[in-house]
Structure 1
């Protein structure tokens, strides 16, 4: 699946949060591949910036914040190590 497909699935509020988080982690993998870093480095950067843990997001709002951050990292609007 593509980044956009995973993002769309992660934003689907009709799905359980754990399933949506799995799609968000797949988005993180796509971003990591584009930046040539480990997925965990991207997940850690997202957690630092947003307070949202992609391994166990607190709620849908946290997941949405994380996805917004992933999008900014993917588009290189934010540096990974800030």
Structure 2
């Protein structure tokens, strides 16, 4: 969440987190990314703001803790 990094770079890290969650849940990363998009309206492939990224990460954490 280092705001000195470009949003696209931070989004890449969030997608890596999505991969870890997917592995824990036994599903594909893209399924996690799609679920986040459905629940939050945030596309982790192209988040539009830091706020969107935080919303997506909060949902990822929720999924991880399940």
Aligned-pair CA distance for 1:57: 0.2
Please, what TM-score do these two structures have when normalized by structure 2?
Answer: 0.98
Higher relative contact order (CA 8 A, sep 6+): 2
2:4 matches 1:22: no
Unaligned runs of 5+ in 1: 1-10, 77-82
- In structure 2, the gaps of 5 or more residues are none
For 1:69 and 1:43, locate their aligned partners in 2 and report how far apart those are by CA, in whole Å.
10
- Following TM superposition, the consecutive aligned residue runs of length 4 or more in structure 1 with deviations greater than 2 angstroms are none
Q: What is the SS of the residue equivalent to 1:26?
A: helix
Which digits, 9 at most, give the CA deviation of each residue in 1:9-34, with x for residues without a partner?
Answer: xx111110000000000000000000
Query: How many residues were matched structurally?
Result: 66
